[in-house]
């Protein structure tokens, strides 16, 4: 299945477009994902256009600020990466980043190891663990510049997973579809407990199917208290701020 290039769409929506090499890596990602998906459920989205929009474009619009700017050597973590989104497209598009791909499902991480090898993507590092555990480990806690998190549950659980990983001054990007005022209230109650603040809310419409997207940009302004993230399961069962 040939992945569309849509170079004009990349350019007009994100002011960026993939090089030949990056396009080849995106194509290899789709090819390998389709093969691996037969054994492990990594994604439901495998038609080339849907893959382009929902996995590639959607992963990269959240990090447009960095695609647009000068190259920076940053350390990023994708929490609950599943089939590698948004972390793998981020690692392909921003080769100066080191990207940890975190997921608690061992089979998915085994697939991502195969994928990263096949794509010669040495800047992406699959890790099998829970965010609640890794977020307390020396070398990972307060160690990242950027945390990405898409489709991993209630918004304040995402904030509780992401903020402990960040250095002061770091940014967490929460990828959301719809966004409500009630969710914003819950998030605003949770953030002071975690050392974060809401810096920006960005809206976008996906270029092919015109679906809504919201990106929440959280800044870490103070150290996260040692009690967060709470024990495994608690952030999702009892989200902060409710």
How many of the chain's residues bind ligand SAM (CB under 6 A)?
A: 16
Separation between Cα atoms, residue 57 and residue 16, nearest integer Å = 11
Residue 100 DSSP SS3: strand
Among 13, 37, 105, 193, the residue binding ligand SAM under the rule CB under 6 A is 105
Minimum separation from the CB atom of position 70 to ligand SAM (A) = 27
Pairing of strands 124-128, 98-103: parallel
Choices 4-12, 28-36, 118-126, 128-136; region in contact with ligand SAM by CB under 6 A: 128-136
Does residue 46 belong to the site contacting ligand SAM (CB under 6 A)?
no
Q: Which is nearer to ligand SAM, 170 or 235 (CB)?
A: 235
CA distances from 8 to 4, 17, 18, 68 (A): 11, 8, 11, 15
Residue 140 touching ligand SAM (CB under 6 A):
no
- Among positions 52, 66, 85, 228, the unique one binding ligand SAM when judged by CB under 6 A: 85
Question: Is residue 150 close enough to count as binding ligand SAM by CB under 6 A?
Answer: yes
Do 131 and 60 touch, CB atoms closer than 8 A? no
Can you tell me which of 14, 33, 61, 81 binds ligand SAM, judged by CB under 6 A?
A: 81
Q: Smallest distance, Å, CB 171 to ligand SAM?
A: 17
Q: If 0-12 CB within 10 Å is exposed, 13-18 middle and 19+ buried, where does residue 102 land?
A: buried
- Given candidates 1, 7, 35, 151, which one binds ligand SAM under the rule CB under 6 A? 151
Q: Per rule CB under 6 A, is residue 135 in the interface with ligand SAM? A: no
**80 forms part of the interface with ligand SAM (CB under 6 A):** yes
The reply to whether omega before 36 is within 30° of 0 (cis) is no
Pairing of strands 75-79, 98-103: parallel
Q: Determine if 152 is a binding residue for ligand SAM (CB under 6 A).
A: yes
Smallest gap from Cβ 134 to ligand SAM, in A, equals: 8
Q: What crossing angle do the helices spanning 155-162 and 181-194 adopt, rounded to 10°? A: 30
- 59 vs 148: CA distance, rounded Å: 9
Q: Phi, psi at residue 60, to the nearest 5°?
A: -85, -25
Residue 106 as a binder of ligand SAM (CB under 6 A): the answer is no
Location of structure tokens 């919201």:
214
User: Is position 141 an interface residue for ligand SAM (rule: CB under 6 A)?
Assistant: no
Please report how close the Cβ of residue 127 comes to ligand SAM at its closest, in angstroms.
Answer: 9
Minimum CB separation from ligand SAM for residue 148, in Å?
A: 8
Structure tokens at 209: 């199917």
Residues lying near ligand SAM in the complex (CB under 6 A): 80-83, 85, 102-105, 108, 130-132, 150-152
């Amino acid at each position: 299945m040939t992945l569309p290039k849509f170079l004009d769409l990349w350019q007009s929506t994100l002011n960026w477009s993939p090089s030949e090499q990056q396009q080849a890596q995106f194509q290899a990602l789709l090819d390998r994902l389709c093969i691996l998906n037969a054994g492990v459920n990594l994604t439901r989205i495998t038609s080339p256009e849907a893959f382009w929009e929902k996995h590639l474009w959607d992963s990269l619009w959240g990090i447009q600020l960095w695609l647009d700017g000068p190259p920076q050597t940053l350390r990023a973590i994708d929490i609950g990466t599943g089939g590698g989104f948004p972390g793998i497209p981020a690692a392909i598009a921003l080769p100066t980043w080191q990207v940890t791909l975190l997921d608690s499902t061992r089979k998915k991480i085994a697939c991502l190891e195969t994928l990263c090898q096949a794509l010669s993507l040495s800047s992406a590092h699959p890790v099998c663990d829970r965010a609640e555990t890794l977020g307390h480990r020396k070398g990972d806690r307060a160690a990242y510049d950027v945390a990405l998190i898409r489709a991993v549950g209630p918004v304040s659980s995402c904030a509780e997973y992401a903020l402990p990983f960040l250095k002061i001054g770091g940014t967490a990007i929460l990828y959301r579809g719809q966004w409500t005022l009630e969710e914003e209230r819950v998030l605003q109650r949770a953030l002071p407990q975690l050392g974060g603040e809401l810096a920006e809310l960005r809206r976008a419409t996906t270029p092919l199917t015109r679906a809504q997207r919201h990106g929440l940009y959280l800044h870490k302004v103070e150290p996260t208290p040692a009690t967060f993230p709470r024990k495994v399961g608690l952030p999702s069962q009892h989200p902060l701020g409710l």
